[in-house]
Structure 1
C-alpha cells in the first residue's frame, strides 16, 4: 500500500473530482484510463503525452509497472518514478488499473465492492475510498505533544 502523503491524497481526490465532473476517461488510452488520469494529476502531463510515453514500450499499466526500471531514462519510467515519489508503489499501479486492492474495497459498502475496472463511477469510488484510507493513515502518524507537560503562564 502506498505511503500516505499529502501530495498523493490530494491527487487522488482531485482526480476523482475531475472524473466525476466529466474529465476525459477512456479505458484503452494509457493517458486517459485509471492510472493515466492519476498520472495527469501527479505529473501535470497531458493525457496525450502520457500515452505517447507509454507507447514507446509495450503493454498496459500492469506491464509498464512490471518493466519499470528506476535507472532508465525512458519517459514512461521517469513518469512512473514521479508517481512513486508521490508515495505510490508499483503494486498500486496494478491495483488501480483493476480496482482490486482489498484494503480499499473493504471500505466500500458490501453491495458496492464489485467494481468494474473500466467504469468511470467505479474509478471515482475507488479513488475516493483510497484517499480516505491514506488520510486516516497519515493522521494516525501525527503525534502531538502532551499538553500536560507544558506549564501554563
Structure 2
C-alpha cells in the first residue's frame, strides 16, 4: 500500500475532482487512463507526453510497471519513478489500473465492490476511497504529546 502523505492524498483527490469535472478519460490511452490521470497530477506532464513516453516501450501500465527499471532513464521509467517517489508502490499502480486493491475495495458495501476498471465514475469512487484510507492511516501515525495542563497556574 502507498506511503500515506499529504501530497499523495491531495493528488488522488485532485485527480478524482478533475475526472468528475470532465477531464479527458480514455482507458486505452496511457496518459488518459486511471494511472495516466494520476501521473498527470504527480508529474505535471500532459496526457499526450505520458502517452508518448509509454509508447517508446510496449504494453499497458501493468506491463510498463512490470518492466520498470529505476535506472534505465527511459522516459516512462522516469514517470514511474516520480510516482513511486510520491509514495506509491509498483503494486499500487497495477491495482489502480484495474481498480483491484482489496484494502480499498473492502471499504465499499459488498454489492458495490465490483468496479469496472474502464469506467470514469468507478475510477473516481476508487480514488476518493483510496485518499480517505491514506488520510486515516496518516492520522493514525501522528502522535501528539501528552499535554499536561498546569491547573495551579493563575494569571496575574
Separation (CA, whole Å) in 2 of partners of 1:136 and 1:72? 35
Q: 1:33 and 1:103 mapped to 2: Cα distance?
A: 21
Partner of 1:105: 105
Q: Secondary structure at the match of 1:147?
A: coil
Tell me which residue corresponds to 1:88: 88
For 1:136 and 1:62, the matched residues in 2 are separated by 27
Q: Secondary structure at the match of 2:11?
A: helix
Q: What TM-score comes out, normalization by structure 2 length?
A: 0.95
Q: Does 1:11 align with 2:14?
A: no
CA distance in 1, matches of 2:43, 2:62: 19
The CA deviation at 1:7 is 1.0
> What are the superposed Cα offsets for residues 20-48 of structure 1, whole Å, 9 maximum, x if unpaired?
11100001000000000000000000000
Aligned counterparts of 1:14 and 1:109: Cα–Cα separation in 2: 24
Map residues 28-107 of structure 1 onto 2, 5 A cutoff: 28-107=28-107
Question: RMSD value over aligned CA atoms?
Answer: 1.0
- SS of residue paired to 2:133: helix
- Report the structure number with the largest CA radius of gyration: 2
For the residues of structure 2 that align with 1:151 and 1:138, how far apart are their CA atoms?
Answer: 30
Partners in 1 of 2:77 and 2:25 — Cα distance?
22
User: Which structure 1 residue ranges, 5 or more long, are not aligned?
Assistant: none
Secondary structure class of the residue paired with 1:36: helix
Structure 2: distance between partners of 1:108 and 1:92: 18
Unaligned runs of 5+ in 2: none
What residue is the counterpart of 2:125 in the other structure?
Answer: 125
Residue 109 of structure 1, CA deviation:
2.0
**Per-residue displacement from partner, 1:59-105 (whole Å, max 9, x unpaired)?**
00000100000111111001100000000000001000000000000
